[in-house]
Amino acid sequence: VQLQASGGGLVQAGDSLRLSCVASGRTFSSAVMGWFRQAPGQERRFVAIISGSTSSTRYADSVKGRFTISRDNAKNTINLQMNSLKPEDTAVYYCAAGRLMLIAPDGYNYWGQGTQLTVSS
- 3-class secondary-structure state, position 106: helix
Does residue 14 or residue 54 have the better pLDDT? 14
Query: How far is it between the farthest Cα atoms of the chain?
Result: 42
Quote the pLDDT of residue 29. Answer: 87
CA distance 48 to 64: 9
Quote the pLDDT of residue 22. Answer: 97
Q: Using one digit for the tens of pLDDT, what is the confidence trace for 8-19?
A: 999 999 999 999
The answer to whether 20 and 72 have CB atoms below 8 angstroms apart is no
Q: Which amino acid is at 86?
A: K
